[in-house]
Structure 1
Amino acid sequence: MLFRLAIACGLIAATVAVQASFMSAGLGVFRRLEKERRDLLLRYPMLVTVVWIIYLIAPIALDVVLWATFYYLAQALPNFEEALYFSTVTFTTVGYGDIVLGRDWRQVATFEAVNGWIIFGWATALMMAVIQRLYFTRTPGQD
């Protein structure tokens, strides 16, 4: 059991690294746009918001695939399609329950759910930070 929990912690570390990498790169681009193309951000805040949100969904999808790959390689689920579906439902904490892991792997799935909860909270915070910058930051000369 400890071995499986160690694997779960490793997967959490991997997904945090994925998120941190994407978010750091995305925020770097956003900061550059604020300095060099402020007019673009002011003119198209909705488009920038849509692009930012889609961008933040990409690493979440990668995180889900990481967990699914683990379930498949560990033979916790019979095929990759089921592993991907189970991982998506678990990571998003929807938890339909139509596909379940065997007794040996159930505890690992709870770690994935907690992982998803943390990642979604983090992504939501960054979405709001960018939205605040786009819609609520005053520019010089604005009243």
Structure 2
Amino acid sequence: MDRVAAILGLVAGTVALQAVAQTVLLSSVGFFDRRTREATETWRTFWISLGAVLVLILGHVAQMALWAGFFLWRGVLPSFDDAYYFSLVTFATLGYGDIVLAPQHRIFGALEAACGSLMLGWSTALIFAAVSAARKRG
């Protein structure tokens, strides 16, 4: 039961951080949209895209830190550097394999990869939607 609670907590935390990033993204797109009303469409698209990507990257950095903190807290990996590196390559679904989890913890690595894939896809959709909406208003 402890494992199920940990899984649910990590997934909920990952989704909550993505929702926060989405909220900030919508605010930042509105900010850049208002600030670039007089700019050319190319510059408006550039600034809105940059704002969207930076916000979402920060959200993903926080999501990976959540997973790394869990790995460190549970003693799954020896240091935060190792835990964050493992989290980064797992979240991004690269999976280099130079750091691996013990068999009893592998489910967490697989789950992080699934969450990362979903969150990165969600971010891609948000960036597309933000740029599309900004171009329609311009």
Question: TM-score, with normalisation over the residues of structure 1?
Answer: 0.84
Identity across matched positions, percent: 34
The corresponding residue for 2:30 is 31
Question: TM-score, with normalisation over the residues of structure 2?
Answer: 0.87
The corresponding residue for 1:10 is 9
Deviation at 1:32, TM superposition (A): 5.5
Q: Does 1:59 align with 2:59?
A: yes
Aligned residues: 137
User: Distance in 2 between the 1:40 and 1:11 partners?
Assistant: 42
Q: How does 1:1-143 map to 2 (within 5 A)?
A: 2-31=1-30, 34=33, 38-40=37-39, 42=41, 43-135=43-135, 137=136, 139=138
Uncovered stretches (5+) of structure 2, i.e. residues with no partner: none
Q: Which amino acid aligns with 2:126?
A: L
After superposition, give the CA deviation of every residue in 1:94-118 in whole Å (9 maximum; x if it has no partner): 0001100001100111111111011
After superposition, give the CA deviation of every residue in 1:23-67 in whole Å (9 maximum; x if it has no partner): 113213423654686335845321221222111100100000000
Deviation at 1:3, TM superposition (A): 2.1
Uncovered stretches (5+) of structure 1, i.e. residues with no partner: none
Residues 1:71 and 1:41: Cα distance change in structure 2 (over 3 Å) = farther
Deviation at 1:4, TM superposition (A): 1.9
Residues 1:132 and 1:69: Cα distance change in structure 2 (over 3 Å) = same
Larger Rg: 1
RMSD (Å) for aligned C-alpha atoms: 2.0
